[in-house]
Amino acid sequence: MPARATDARRAAVLGKPIAHSLSPVLHRAAYDELGLTDWSYERFEVDEAGLPGFVEKLGPEWAGLSLTMPLKRAVIPLVDEISETAASVDAVNTVVFAEDGRRIGDNTDIPGMMAALREHGIEQVDSAAILGAGATASSALAALARICTGEVVAYVRSEARAAEMRQWGERLDVEVRTADWADAEQALRAPLIIATTPAGTTDALATAVPERPATLFDVLYEPWPTELAARWSMFGGAVVSGLDLLVHQAVLQVEQMTGRSPAPLDAMRRAGEKALAAR
């Protein structure tokens, strides 16, 4: 049953560290736009050890949780049901509390990536490259499993990471070839590049942007633009930002937690942009 505007409900984002999270800004903007005046959305610093106790103490007023690192896998044993999308990458970033008390785990990062790409006109590619091999890279692979018809090349720093990406490829039914990070400049010639690395990691690649770049999806949103994204835009390439991803995955969370659809994408994006500009 969709939530009523008069329902006093709670939601929050959990993780460690969490002070930087933009999720409260995005979700509160959605509540304002939807007229959910009694809804609140907070942030709590919670680690893996503290997560079970935190979840067990939640009362019936709770509508849902957003999970960030390092909790996306730690929360799985605490839910009653998990979506196929979340199961495909062993990562839950959304828990919705059903009226019957069940905890339902989902992953909105993957459809959020696809929605962000679709917004920029990318619905299918014949090949792609991924920079990095962490948790976000596995979500990127899961998104590419749905839109990439050919090979995905993952540029990584170690053989252990390479083996992980090949295993994810087999699991997600994606043709994955791994390459050494030293050759990462080659990635920039792909029709779609998804950069999943921490801040500063791709800065050295900025001088290697080709004359006619295609599409770069850089999952960072702070600091923004990254040196690579700025150079990419300068050369006329299309850039999808981490804020695009954050907003689109949050839209899906709001819809699931509140029962209201569509969530106010534009208002949430404006709130995110304003918050980042103020930092």
Residue given tokens 């991803």 in the structure block: 245
Q: What is the C-alpha radius of gyration for the chain, rounded to an integer number of angstroms?
A: 19
Structure tokens at 215: 């599409």
Q: Are 267 and 29 in contact (CB under 8 A)?
A: yes
The CA distance from 124 to 96, in Å, is: 31
State the amino acid at position 133 in one-letter form. A
Cα gap 115→167, rounded to integer Å = 25
List 16, 57, 72, 274, catalytic entry: 72
In angstroms, rounded to a whole number, what is the distance separating the alpha carbons of residues 167 and 250? Answer: 29
45: amino acid identity, one letter? E
* Adjacency order of strands within the sheet including 62-67: 40-45, 10-15, 62-67, 94-97, 103-106, 81-82
72 as an active site residue: the answer is yes
The CA–CA distances, whole Å, from 9 to 4, 69, 215, 251, 258 equal 10, 24, 40, 17, 9
What is the C-alpha to C-alpha distance for residues 41 and 130, in angstroms, rounded to an integer?
A: 33
Report, as residue numbers or ranges, the catalytic residues: 72
